[in-house]
Amino acid sequence: MDGVLRRSLQGEARLAMKLAVEGGKPVATKKFPDPYPLIGKEETKAVLSVLRSKKLSGYPGPKILEFERRFAEYHGVKHAIATNCGTSALTLALYASGIGFGDEVILPPYTFIASASSVLQCNAIPIFSDIDYETMTLDPSKVEEKITSRTKAIMPVHLYGHPADMDPLVEIARRHGILVIEDCAQAHSAEYKGRLVGTLGDAGCFSFQISKNMMTAEGGMIITNRDDIAERARMLRHQGSSSRGIVQMGLRVDMTEIQAAIGIVQLGKLNRFTEKRIRNAAYLSRNLQGVPGIKPPEVPSYIKHVYHIYVWKIDEEELGISKEKFVEALRAEGIPANPIYGRPLYEEPIFKELIGRGQGYPFKYLEKTDLGYGSCPNAERVCRTAVGVYLSPAYGARELKLIARAIRKVAETYALRKRKSR
Question: What SS3 state is found at 404?
Answer: helix
304 within some domain: no
Does residue 15 lie within any of the structural domains?
A: no
Task: Please tell me the predicted confidence (pLDDT) of residue 368.
Answer: 62
Number of domains in the chain: 1
**CA 312, 398, 277 angle in degrees (round to 5)?**
50
pLDDT for position 5:
34
Whole-number pLDDT of residue 8? 38
What is the full per-residue pLDDT of the chain (422 aa) written as tens digits?
444 334 433 444 444 479 999 999 999 999 999 999 999 999 999 999 999 999 888 778 999 999 999 999 999 999 999 999 999 999 999 999 999 999 999 999 999 999 999 999 999 999 999 999 999 999 999 999 999 999 999 999 999 999 999 999 999 999 999 999 999 999 999 999 999 999 999 999 999 999 999 999 999 999 999 999 999 999 999 877 766 777 777 788 999 999 999 999 999 999 999 999 999 999 999 999 999 999 999 999 999 999 999 999 999 999 999 999 999 999 999 999 999 999 999 999 999 998 998 888 898 877 666 777 878 999 999 999 999 999 899 999 999 999 999 999 999 999 999 999 87
C-alpha to C-alpha distance for 332 and 86, rounded to whole angstroms: 33
Q: Do the domain assignments include residue 183?
A: yes
pTM of the model: 0.94
CA atoms within 13 A on the CB side of 332: 16
CA dihedral sign of residues 49, 50, 51, 54: positive
Q: Is residue 289 part of a domain?
A: no
In which domain, by residue range, is 137 found? Answer: 41-266
Is 7 inside any structural domain?
no
pLDDT for res 283: 98
Instruction: Report yes or no on 60 lying in a domain.
Output: yes
Does 345 reside within a domain? no
Q: Which CATH number is 241's domain given? A: 3.40.640.10
Asked whether residue 81 is assigned to any structural domain, the reply reads yes
**So what's the pLDDT on residue 371?**
77
Q: Identify which of 396, 403, 234 has the alpha carbon closest to the alpha carbon of residue 311.
A: 403
Distances (CA, A) of 356 to 122, 244, 365, 398: 11, 34, 12, 46
